[in-house]
Structure 1
Amino acid sequence: MLSKIIYSTAVVLATAAVILLALFSPLPHRKNHTTPRLALSFYIQQPQVGGSATHPAAPPDAGALIFHRTLTEGPTNTSRIVGKAQGFIIPVESFAHSAFNIIYLTFHTHEYSGSISVQAKNIAHKEKEELTVVGGTGSFAFARGLAVFAQIDREMSNLDAIYHIKLHLEFPNRSQTIPG
């Protein structure tokens, strides 16, 4: 009889312990699987050489456009320079979807150092272009996302224009927070 009482008490205590542990245990730590995101805004300017803007040597009907521009924080050419934009684009119909059509945005600031590759396959020469970010290096390693190019000076030709660029980046292979 005593053994039955001890056994029953042990079962009741064990059951109570399981119920109490279930009610008062801390929740398991959940890992935050959100992809780090970063939004940047800057401007592509004509480089200034000797007080005047340089113009591309290629005529408008050329087979390829190779360019080198300056990236600034603000819309004026006196704004702080944050990097450069370079590209090689073949506007010919047969190469319109070529993998060669890439714009490289390179940054050299205290916050960011590295480059972003923007695919320029489907440029329609609209006032606003949404292009795909396909990768990056340095601070922008493994970047993916969207690059929105908008011409801000409508009176200039496309070759001389100033563009406002908004980058919306995601970093799927990173778990830490991105500065900025």
Structure 2
Amino acid sequence: MLSKIIYSTAVLLATAAVILLALFSPLPHRNNHKNPQLSLSFYIQHPQVGGSTLSATHSAAPPDAGALIFHRILTEGPDISSRAIGKAHGFIIPVESFAHSAFNIIYLTFHSHEYSGSISVQARNLGHKEREELAVVGGTGSFAFARGLAVFVQTNRGIDNLDAAYHIKLHLEFPNRSQTIPG
């Protein structure tokens, strides 16, 4: 008889504990947070060699050239003497049949204390305007899986627009990195 009372009391206490835990436990964490975001601002400059602007890779290209390949310097500020934080490389085929090609990509590579990695910007639909909005389609390192918008604003005009400098504003969004990839 005593064992039945102890057993019944234990079952009653366990049932009460489950009900109390269900009523007063905090709600499970829901992942309603937006993806992490990052905004960056920097400048693309013509590299300088020996006090003159380097124009080796593209300024001699004729208007009907098959491809435009360029190498530029990324700086923190608008002046060429600002701290270099990386490089910009690109391969753009301006021929009309390739104007919307996936090959038209600008790679922004960062080497600074804050960031290390690269960002890929799709250079489709370039209209040679003073302000271009292009899609960020991926990244590596600090920018792994980045997506977003890259706004290019021309800050000065060089000879035939070939030596122009650009102010770049990146608005990046990253996927939820708390999820693990099965493997």
Under TM normalisation by the shorter chain, which class is it? 0.7 to 0.9
Change (3 A) 1:18 1:113: closer
1:47 and 2:50 are equivalent in the alignment: no
Gaps of at least 5 residues in structure 2 are: 1-12
The answer as to 2:147 corresponding to 1:144 is yes
CA gap of 1:32–1:59, structure 2 versus 1, over 3 A, is: same
Cα deviation, residue 23, structure 1 = 5.5
Q: Output the CA distance in 1 between the equivalents of 2:29 and 2:94.
A: 52
The one of 125, 128, 132 equivalent to 1:129 is 132
Other-structure match for 2:27? 27
Mapped contact 2:157–2:163 kept (Cα < 8 A): no
Query: How far did 1:19 drift?
Result: 7.7
Query: For residues 57 and 94 of structure 1, what CA distance do their matches in structure 2 show?
Result: 23
Partner of 1:57: 60
Counterpart of 1:71, as a letter, is: L
In 1, Cα distance between the equivalents of 2:162 and 2:177?
Answer: 37
Q: TM-score with structure 1 length normalisation?
A: 0.82
RMSD of the TM alignment (CA)? 2.8
Aligned pairs, number: 172
Secondary structure of the structure 1 residue equivalent to 2:156: coil
TM-score (norm 2): 0.81
By how many angstroms is 1:35 displaced?
0.5
1:13-24 equivalences in 2 (<5 Å): 24=24
CA distance in 1, matches of 2:61, 2:28: 63
Q: Structure 1 vs Structure 2: percent identity of aligned residues?
A: 82
- 1:157, distance to aligned residue in structure 2 (A): 3.4
**How far does residue 137 in structure 1 lie from its aligned partner after superposition?**
0.8
CA displacement at 1:15 relative to structure 2: 10
8 Å contact from structure 1 (residues 35, 175) kept in 2: no
Distance apart, 1:99 and its partner CA: 1.3
What secondary structure sits across from 1:134 in the alignment? strand
Alpha-carbon distance between aligned partners in 2 of 1:116 and 1:172, rounded to the nearest angstrom: 15
Quote the Cα distance in structure 1 between the aligned partners of 2:29 and 2:62: 62
Moved more, 54-63 or 119-128: 54-63
Pick the aligned partner of 2:165 from 139, 156, 162.
162
- In the alignment, structure 1 segments of 5+ residues that lack a partner are 1-12
Q: Is the 8 A contact 1:33 1:175 kept in 2?
A: no
Match of 2:116 among 97, 113, 116: 113
Contact 1:63 1:92 in 2 (8 A): yes
